[in-house]
């Protein structure tokens, strides 16, 4: 009785090779689009509300004029003192 031992032929797994090539291609393409490609600019017509805001940004503000105005001096601040109490119980494991 003869025992025949054959050495297993190592064949390249084509699926792994193709997947590796796809992964490397995706990484390089992503890096190119992320770091080197300049995006195209989209021109948009400015809405009229934003044009009004640009006019508002040109307004001048003088804080001294506001602080010295009679309307500001009439304003009063209403405040209530808040009592600080001790949170929790002395012994949290004691039954009610």
The string of pLDDT tens digits covering residues 18-29 is: 999 999 999 999
In whole angstroms, give the CA distance from residue 91 to residue 31.
61
Maximum separation of any 2 CA atoms in the chain, in Å: 117
Yes or no: say if 29 and 35 are a contact pair by the CB < 8 Å rule: no
Q: Phi/psi at 35 (nearest 5 deg)?
A: -105, -30
Domain-wise residue ranges, the chain: 13-37
This model's pTM is above 0.75: no
Q: Which two tokens stand for residue 81?
A: 């003192």
The string of pLDDT tens digits covering residues 16-75 is: 899 999 999 999 999 998 888 887 777 777 677 777 777 777 778 888 998 999 999 999
Give Cα 5 distance to the centre of its chain.
62
The sign one gets for the Cα dihedral 18, 21, 23, 26 is negative
């Amino acid at each position: 009785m003869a025992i025949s031992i054959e050495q297993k032929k190592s064949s390249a797994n084509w699926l792994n090779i193709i997947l590796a090539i796809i992964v490397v291609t995706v990484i390089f393409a992503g890096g190119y689009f992320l770091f080197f490609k300049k995006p195209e600019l989209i021109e948009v017509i400015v809405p009229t509300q934003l044009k009004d805001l640009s006019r508002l940004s040109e307004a001048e503000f003088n804080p001294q004029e506001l602080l010295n105005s009679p309307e500001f001096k009439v304003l009063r601040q209403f405040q209530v003192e808040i009592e600080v109490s001790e949170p929790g119980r002395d012994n949290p494991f004691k039954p009610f």
